[in-house]
Amino acid sequence: MLEKNNKRLINAWSSFDWANSVYNLIVTTAIFPIYYLGTTQEAFGGEMVEFFGYSIKNSVLYSYAISISFLVIVFISPVLSGIADYAGMKKAFMKFFTYLGSFACIGLYFFTGDNVEYGITCSVLASIGFAGSLVFYNGFLPEVASQDKMDSVSARGFAMGYVGSVILLIINLILYQKYELFGFESGTAATRFGFILVGVWWLGFSQIAFYYLKDVRTGAEMSLRILGKGTEELLKVWDVVKEKQVMKRYLYSFFLFSMGVQTVMLLAPLFADKEIGMGADEMIYIVLILQILAIGGAFFFAWLSKLKGNGFAISSTLLIWIFICVAGYFMQDKISFYSLAAFLGFVMGGIQSMSRSTYSKLIPTEATDTASYFSFYDITEKLAIVIGSLSYGFIDQITGSMRYSMVFMSLFFVAGYILLQMADLKKNLE
């Protein structure tokens, strides 16, 4: 087994970001939301779709579907992470969710708009696979890097994810625009094939991380009793979290600002389509801008944290996020939206990378149950996504405009900023 801070081990761990980030970018952010809106509107003759006998607005249904997928993870990941630590099975669960997500993503090829129940089911399963695998992937970070290197290693992982995503997104863009050259009958058919490419990329490149990352076997035997042991592991971690005031306050802050971060990132394509009038091609260009600037943002804020501390770096991103949400409410033209996307991409890379590495530093150095610790982190984030996306969809439903949903997100960032100052990370991490 390779030792902590080994370059080959760090690269292998980071390669999982390269593998699974294509789903988060291409399916969740760039292509599927637009494809979903277009095909369902064509199939049902408008925004209202029939879902298991109920009539519902297509964008609201999508928001609720995202909420459900992350709610599932909230319920199952605590037990699974406890089991993973107790029995030494982080990689086994990481594999399971990766295979679930990648095959569900491939299954989206057969979604054509009229079979909306099938499409939503596949998208929910793919989302569960993506979110579930991250619980155990993040749990490996303290085993891969020492505390002084966590910021840069975390940033490296996100940067590799952004680069890989951009490469495959460009491939998908070429297939969409030049579909006749590649034997597709339409741009829609090329888009559907792109879902297969994402699933295969995700599945294939994940094998690098699976080869190098090793579980520390504990000798515990698998049985029904292990479910109880998993719960015990979590309770042990909770006892530590309650005693560590800074960790507890940081999780509260992370919970609040994650409602805004994750919701805006997940639903920005719907906003661009419905409120700004962005087409599919334009939305892909927007996402390319986001990803390229996110690479710089991840490394910039890692540098800033080294200079000024983690608390200062995260606080800086939150102030920019507040500006983005308020500006989004007044946004009318496409040129202005491109400018706003540049800001969003820059802070997107920074806040994701810094949030993960900051929490890693707060985990006791002697802790071996890292999956259980990261379960609290991921539960916090997933609950935030559930509440955030439900709020976004609900406000959209009652007001008929996503602009009100966008400005409402700024309240989460303001509250998160205030609580982050109370955590006093500078005092506790330096």
* CATH code of residue 98: 1.20.1250.20
Structure token pair of residue 250? 């940081």
Is residue 204 in some structural domain? Answer: yes
Is residue 63 in some structural domain? Answer: yes
Residue 224 has pLDDT above 70, yes or no: no
Cα maximum dimension of the chain: 62
> Of the candidates 129, 133, 153, 155, which has an alpha carbon nearest to the alpha carbon of residue 141?
153
Is residue 126 in some structural domain? Answer: yes
Residue 362 has pLDDT above 60, yes or no: yes
What domain range includes position 206? 7-217+224-429
What's the total number of domains in the chain? Answer: 1
Residue 1 has pLDDT above 60, yes or no: no
b/e burial code for range 230-268 (CB count within 10 A of at least 16 → b): beebbeebeebbeebeebbbbbbbbbbbbbbbbbbbbbb
Confidence tier at 317 by pLDDT (50, 70, 90): very high
Is residue 191 in some structural domain? Answer: yes
Is residue 2 in some structural domain? Answer: no
pLDDT in tens, 57-85: 887 888 788 778 878 877 777 677 666 66
Query: Which residues in 12-66 belong to E strands, given as ranges?
Result: 48-51, 54-57
**How confident is the model at residue 118, as a pLDDT?**
94
Is residue 249 in some structural domain? Answer: yes
DSSP codes joined into one string, 92-138: HHHHHHHHHHHHHHHHGGG--SS-HHHHHHHHHHHHHHHHHHHHHHH
Residue 351 identity (one-letter amino acid): I
Calpha distance 133→96 (Å, rounded):
8
Residue 246 identity (one-letter amino acid): V
Is residue 12 in some structural domain? Answer: yes
Percent of the chain whose pLDDT exceeds 90: 17
375-379 average pLDDT score:
76
314-320 average pLDDT score:
92
Task: Please indicate whether residue 262 or residue 363 has the higher confidence score (pLDDT).
Answer: 363
Q: What is the mean pLDDT of the chain?
A: 82
334-363 average pLDDT score:
83
Output the pTM of the full model.
Answer: 0.75
**How confident is the model at residue 31, as a pLDDT?**
81
Confidence tier at 230 by pLDDT (50, 70, 90): low
Residue 218 has pLDDT above 90, yes or no: no
- 290 Cβ neighbours under 8 A, 6+ residues apart: 29, 341, 344, 345, 348
- 84 Cβ neighbours under 8 A, 6+ residues apart: 90, 92, 93, 136, 139, 230, 371, 372
Is residue 1 in some structural domain? Answer: no
